[in-house]
Amino acid sequence: GAVVSQHPSRVICKSGTSVKIECRSLDFQATTMFWYRQFPKQSLMLMATSNEGSKATYEQGVEKDKFLINHASLTLSTLTVTSAHPEDSSFYICSAREWGGRNQPQHFGDGTRLSIL
């Protein structure tokens, strides 16, 4: 079945560091990828929609200059958390929707646990 690979799975870094998270669709093309954030014991909250070859669409309240998204190919989207601070510590999850057909489901990566010291 479709697989979405997310890397790294865990990051621990100092405050002020920028962190890049990769999301790859391994066996299908994804014109659209989504980035979510999940705090402990809470649901997934959409941060932004990433479209191949165009600018990402950010949800209200999400700083686009802080969470940089690049979707350079049909199989790769990256999220860069710039100048990360402790409040950015969270579980970040990407999902990708297979191209073609209205009923293609979204598949999720295994998430990235970001811890800012």
Partner 1 sequence: GQQLNQSPQSMFIQEGEDVSMNCTSSSIFNTWLWYKQDPGEGPVLLIALYKAGELTSNGRLTAQFGITRKDSFLNISASIPSDVGIYFCAGLYQAGTALIFGKGTTLSVSS
Q: Which residues bind partner 1 (CB under 8 A)?
A: 4, 6, 32, 34, 41-46, 49, 59-60, 91, 93, 95, 97, 101-111, 113
Judged by CB, which is closer to partner 1: 18, or 76?
A: 76
Judged by CB, which is closer to partner 1: 14, or 41?
A: 41
* Minimum separation from the CB atom of position 63 to partner 1 (A): 15
| Pick from 78, 95, 94: nearest CA to 18 | 78
Judged by CB, which is closer to partner 1: 8, or 16?
A: 8
Segment holding 44, helix H or strand E: strand 44-51
Judged by CB, which is closer to partner 1: 16, or 102?
A: 102
Beta strands in the chain (DSSP E): 4-7, 10-13, 19-25, 32-38, 44-51, 57-58, 67-73, 76-81, 90-97, 106-108, 112-116
